[in-house]
């Protein structure tokens, strides 16, 4: 899988950080993880093939995660060549997405649902037990409720090349840590450095406790408010967990590849890329 960070910021505007959005290219197709108001423009800016996007995942209804949905559907209608598109676009995520889209649509009869290709919306009820579904045919995913909003969900995605968890916004949760155990990439919110004003987000110490339990191969900390501008995030993270922590930046690209099984068999065979031969 390939990841492109579209927005590493949160709900308060930041000159270098758009609000939430992550492009994911999987073996089964392309996915947008959360769609802030900034995300459609950021996909164009990153020269991604957004007119052929296969699926959109919406974690919850805070506007820094879903406010770009209606503009994206509106823009798609007027995209040159879109009439040739026949494959479906699927929007999957928390409960309430369809109500939100219909309310916007009906306010001005935008005809957001009249597209030249099939448009499907699937809402998943929040559940304390992880449950499986296919975001696009052939792509195995799981969802788990998070302690942020009644409807908020984390997602785990696995294809033949690797496994990823995107928590989106969350408070501290051992269930979320278990859900992310041993993934190749954990995209974890880390809204605040310390003294967080709410239990419904994470500060650095919480995020690193989750990393300790989950032991991801790589940890990408995102949803960064402006207080992070004055902090060396990766250095502070290293003090609390000695794994591989990356500070999310808009435009960052990462290849997500497998891991432990491969690493361990390579080790057993005496192949180690990191040590001198
Ligand atoms: Zn948010
Ligand atoms: Zn939120």
Q: Which ligand is nearest to the CA of 20?
A: 1
What's the 225 CA to ligand 1 centre distance in angstroms?
A: 10
What's the 169 CA to ligand 2 centre distance in angstroms?
A: 5
The tens digit of pLDDT for each residue in 29-73 reads 999 999 999 999 999 999 999 999 999 999 999 999 999 999 999
Structure confidence at residue 259 (pLDDT): 66
Q: Whole-model pTM? A: 0.93
What's the 64 CA to ligand 1 centre distance in angstroms?
A: 5
Q: At what angle do helices 69-77 and 97-108 cross, to 10 degrees?
A: 50
What's the 266 CA to ligand 2 centre distance in angstroms?
A: 41
Structure confidence at residue 115 (pLDDT): 97
Report whether pLDDT(260) > 60.
no
What's the 154 CA to ligand 2 centre distance in angstroms?
A: 12
What's the 86 CA to ligand 1 centre distance in angstroms?
A: 33
pLDDT level of residue 103 (50, 70, 90 thresholds): very high
Instruction: Calculate what percentage of the chain has a pLDDT beyond 90.
Output: 90
CA-to-CA distance for 145 and 151, rounded, in angstroms? 7
What's the 11 CA to ligand 1 centre distance in angstroms?
A: 6
What's the 148 CA to ligand 2 centre distance in angstroms?
A: 7
Structure confidence at residue 221 (pLDDT): 98
């Amino acid at each position: 899988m390939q990841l492109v960070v579209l927005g590493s910021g949160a709900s308060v505007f930041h000159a270098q950080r758009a609000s939430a959005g992550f492009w994911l290219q999987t073996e089964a197709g392309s996915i947008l993880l959360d769609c802030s108001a900034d995300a459609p423009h950021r996909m164009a800016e990153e020269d991604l093939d957004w007119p052929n996007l296969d699926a959109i995942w919406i974690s919850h209804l805070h506007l820094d995660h879903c406010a770009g949905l209606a503009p994206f559907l509106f823009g798609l209608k007027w995209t040159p060549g879109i009439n040739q598109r026949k494959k479906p676009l699927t929007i999957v995520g928390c409960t309430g997405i369809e109500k939100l889209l219909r309310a916007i649509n009906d306010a001005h009869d935008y005809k957001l649902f009249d597209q030249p290709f099939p448009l499907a919306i699937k809402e998943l009820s929040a559940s304390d037990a992880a449950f499986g579904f296919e975001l696009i045919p052939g792509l195995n995913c799981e969802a788990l409720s998070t302690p942020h909003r009644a409807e908020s969900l984390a997602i785990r995605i696995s294809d033949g090349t690797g496994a990823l968890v995107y928590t989106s916004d969350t408070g501290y949760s051992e269930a979320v840590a278990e859900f992310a155990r041993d993934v190749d990439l954990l995209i974890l919110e880390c809204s605040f450095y310390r003294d967080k004003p709410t239990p419904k987000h994470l500060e650095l110490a919480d995020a690193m406790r989750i990393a300790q339990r989950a032991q991801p191969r790589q940890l990408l900390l995102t949803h960064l408010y402006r207080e992070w501008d004055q902090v060396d995030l990766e250095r502070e993270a290293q003090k609390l967990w000695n794994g591989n922590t990356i500070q999310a930046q808009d435009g960052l690209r990462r290849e997500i590849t497998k891991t432990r099984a491969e690493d361990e068999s390579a080790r057993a065979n005496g192949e180690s890329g990191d040590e001198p031969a």
